[in-house]
Amino acid sequence: MISDEISFVLEIAKKSIKEIVYNNKEWSPEINRHKYADMREEQGVFTTIYADKIEKNLRGCIGIPYPQFPLAEAIALSARNAATKDPRFPPLSKEEFDRAVIEVEILSFIEKIDYTNIENLSDQIIIGEHGLIVKYKGTAGLLLPKVASRYSWTSNELIEHTLRKAMLPLEASNWEGVEFFKFTSTLYQ
């Protein structure tokens, strides 16, 4: 996207958060009026909120990984939920909003990974490019591409942490019925 589109993506997220924090109102953009056609396409999205620009301490991160809503609506919803519904944090306050750093990640198509063993699975993941999802019997874990880069993980460590996020042990990668998916994302900050 060009720079005014990047600004537009962040503007949607910020307005949605500001409306819920300051006015306790759920705001969604009117998708029929957007000059960017891709804002009407259904796509997965995540919003990450950091407490400040310097230390970048996580303050909320919630997303909609699968295409369910037009992109503009998905951005507004994930931003609002990251600010108010991340169970790890209390709702974002007005004071925190003024200092917060907001990032939006638009997800690519999610691709199932066919693998025979952990080494084969690991070989199909590129750190810094791929995010990972694991699913097993109604439980799931997801880590965005930027997470592995931030912590300098290997692909094996990304697999391990994604399994942990789903509350599964490392050996679960060998269990029948466990599925892994990879995706890329475009980060807007």
Residues 115-174 have pLDDT tens digits of 999 999 999 999 999 999 999 999 999 999 999 999 999 999 999 999 999 999 999 999
pLDDT of residue 32: 61
**Dist CA 132 CA 158 (whole Å):** 8
- The answer to whether 65 and 36 have CB atoms below 8 angstroms apart is no
For residue 62, pLDDT over 90 is answered with yes
CA dihedral 29, 147, 182, 48 (to 10 degrees): -10
Cα 127 to Cα 140: distance, rounded to the nearest angstrom: 20
Neighbouring residues of 150: CB distance < 8 A, sequence distance ≥ 6: none
Fill in the amino acid letter for 3: S
Residue 38's pLDDT is 78
d(Cα 116, Cα 154) in Å, to the nearest integer? 19
Contact 9, 104 (CB under 8 A): yes
* Confidence at residue 53, expressed as pLDDT on a 0 to 100 scale: 84
Pick the CATH number of 111-184 from 3.30.70.100, 3.20.20.60, 3.50.50.60, 3.30.1490.150: 3.30.1490.150
* pTM metric for this prediction: 0.89
Domain boundaries, the chain: 3-107, 111-184
The CATH architecture to which 3-107 belongs is 2-Layer Sandwich (3.30)
